[in-house]
């Protein structure tokens, strides 16, 4: 048995047992590091493949941020340096949002698909591809972060409402099935009765948004155009009427872009009093491409003084929480 000295200290001779334990230890550490690397490989990073990014967004069930740019676009380069590459923005990626950068020259099909008319442009999508919100042009960092925060919160809120409604609907279906089974057992086989198809409808009357005016015509053309029942579409418990079939198809793709925010409730009252009071179509205002309704002129003027405060109001509203018999 030999001992070597290195820098005045004995050098340990490894036996086979020592080597075995050390090998197992190295493998364990390597596996742990690999697991951590895989789980965090997309955190804080921009992707460049749309399909891969959408698949990741679906797996993580988070919104997909699509940033359109071009090599010849000056504002794109400026936004890349001052906004997209900052650690503050990157911290959002991989957690609440998956981000992908798309070169508009290399992917013209995506430019056409999302109707991109200027650069840079950003679109926030649900994992399945429905537009949540969008913004055009060069954005400052604070404005951009506000845009991302509102969009992500909107998706998270809608997701919670959807899951709650789905759970409630599944429970109602099971209860109805149990009731039907019990009634079927009680009916004697020799008794024949005429049956009619039953239609189950909500106990509440239909809620019509924007007093029946088309949200598409209002947002795109700033025109008060009455919609038609044949071109109706429900969104967040409210039915909106569109004036043409084309408007209906546009609304189906991205209803959140055209419907009033917060179920049409006054954001100022909601923020200050925690009450969901329907706004009036006479007192509407657009901010960050979104429509807000207010109960009166005074409330709208207060909103204009500090729109970021009131537009960032995070409430998971349900249609049953809206006060008053009229939903605008």
Asked if 73 is an active-site residue, the reply is yes
Helix (H) / strand (E) containing 185: helix 141-186
Cβ neighbours for 213, distance < 8 A, ≥ 6 positions apart? 224, 225, 226, 227, 241, 281
Give the sign of the dihedral formed by CA 57, CA 58, CA 63, CA 65.
Answer: positive
Residue/partner pairs of 155-164 with CB below 8 Å, 24 or more apart: 155/62, 155/63, 155/124, 155/126, 156/96, 157/314, 157/315, 157/316, 158/236, 158/256, 159/61, 160/316, 161/236, 161/316, 161/318, 164/318
Cβ neighbours for 157, distance < 8 A, ≥ 6 positions apart? 314, 315, 316
Catalytic residue among 53, 57, 76, 119: 76
Can you list the alpha helix ranges (DSSP code H) found in 187-243?
215-221
The CA-atom distances, in angstroms, between 274 and each of 164, 295, 317 are: 21, 15, 11
* DSSP 8-class letter at 261: G
Give the sign of the dihedral formed by CA 150, CA 285, CA 301, CA 266.
Answer: negative
* DSSP 8-class letter at 81: I
Both tokens of 51, joined, read 């399909």
Catalytic residue among 47, 64, 73, 97: 73
CB atoms within 10 A of CB 201: 7
What is the spatial distance between Cα 69 and Cα 107, in angstroms, rounded to a whole number? 11
- Residue closest to 314 by CA, chosen among 129, 166, 140, 146: 146
The CA-atom distances, in angstroms, between 219 and each of 46, 223, 238, 251, 306 are: 32, 8, 17, 11, 22
Catalytically active residues are 73, 76
């Amino acid at each position: 048995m030999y001992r070597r000295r290195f820098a005045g200290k004995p050098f340990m001779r490894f036996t086979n047992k020592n080597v075995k334990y050390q090998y197992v230890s190295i493998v364990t550490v390597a596996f742990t590091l690999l697991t951590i690397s895989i789980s965090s490989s997309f955190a804080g990073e921009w992707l460049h493949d749309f399909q891969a990014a959408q698949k990741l967004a679906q797996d993580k069930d988070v919104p997909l941020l699509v940033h359109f740019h071009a090599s010849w676009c000056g504002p794109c380069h400026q936004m890349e340096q001052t906004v997209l590459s900052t650690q503050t923005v990157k911290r959002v990626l991989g957690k609440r949002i998956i981000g992908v950068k798309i070169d508009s020259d290399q992917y013209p099909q995506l430019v056409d698909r999302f109707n991109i008319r200027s650069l840079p442009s950003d679109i926030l999508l649900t994992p399945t591809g429905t537009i949540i919100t969008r913004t055009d042009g060069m954005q400052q960092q604070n404005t951009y972060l506000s845009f991302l925060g509102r969009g992500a919160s909107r998706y998270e809120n809608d997701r919670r409402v959807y899951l709650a409604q789905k759970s409630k609907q599944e429970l109602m279906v099971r209860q109805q099935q149990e009731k039907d089974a019990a009634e079927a057992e009680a009916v004697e086989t020799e008794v024949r009765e005429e049956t009619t198809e039953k239609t189950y409808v909500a106990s509440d009357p239909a809620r019509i948004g924007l007093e029946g005016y088309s949200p598409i015509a209002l947002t795109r053309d700033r025109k008060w155009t009455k919609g038609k029942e044949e071109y109706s579409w429900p969104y967040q418990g409210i039915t909106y009427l569109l004036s043409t079939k084309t408007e209906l198809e546009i609304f189906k793709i991205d209803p959140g872009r055209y419907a009033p925010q917060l179920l049409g409730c006054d954001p100022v009252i909601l923020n200050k009093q925690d009450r969901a009071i329907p706004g009036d179509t006479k007192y509407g205002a657009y901010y960050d491409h979104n429509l807000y309704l207010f109960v009166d002129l005074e409330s709208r003027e207060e909103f204009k003084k500090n729109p970021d405060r009131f537009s960032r109001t995070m409430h998971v509203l349900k249609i049953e929480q809206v006060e008053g018999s009229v939903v605008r």
